[in-house]
Chain A
């Protein structure tokens, strides 16, 4: 079956620090990969996606590269802001399965 493993949180950083949140996956078939963000009190929002190997998804200064050889999709941002404090979910979906697979989420706390 499919699975997504994310690094445990919380991740605590100072403003302007570099962010990496690790995500690795196992999948039967060729997945599309996603990062979603959930701000306090809100639903999840799509942050970025990649649909094939070596694709780089990017949005709002966040980036993630689809690495098929290491089955990874790590989220990075060069300089985090307090407003980036949220929970980040890595997810995948294969064409052969109707069921999306989410990681458990990683909480990010950014201090001024």
Chain B
């Protein structure tokens, strides 16, 4: 059974700090990795995706992937109170069309 693990948090950081969110996955054949942001009572919103080992940057967000360690992370630089949300890690396995989600990590950014 494919599993995606995240620390449920909350992860508390002060405004302007770097928030680091982590995710591990069990299916070694996984090919695509996604980070979604979900505000309370709202649906998941795609932040970014990564397919290859290494780092991928998009504005204040950086996704990091290490397939050997089966680990993916999301860094948020210059965190803002508006970044306070639950961050969902999702994984798409090889040959699969669907996503498996973790339970999410709640991030709280204090002013």
A associates with B: no
Q: B-side interface residues toward A, CB under 8 Å?
A: none
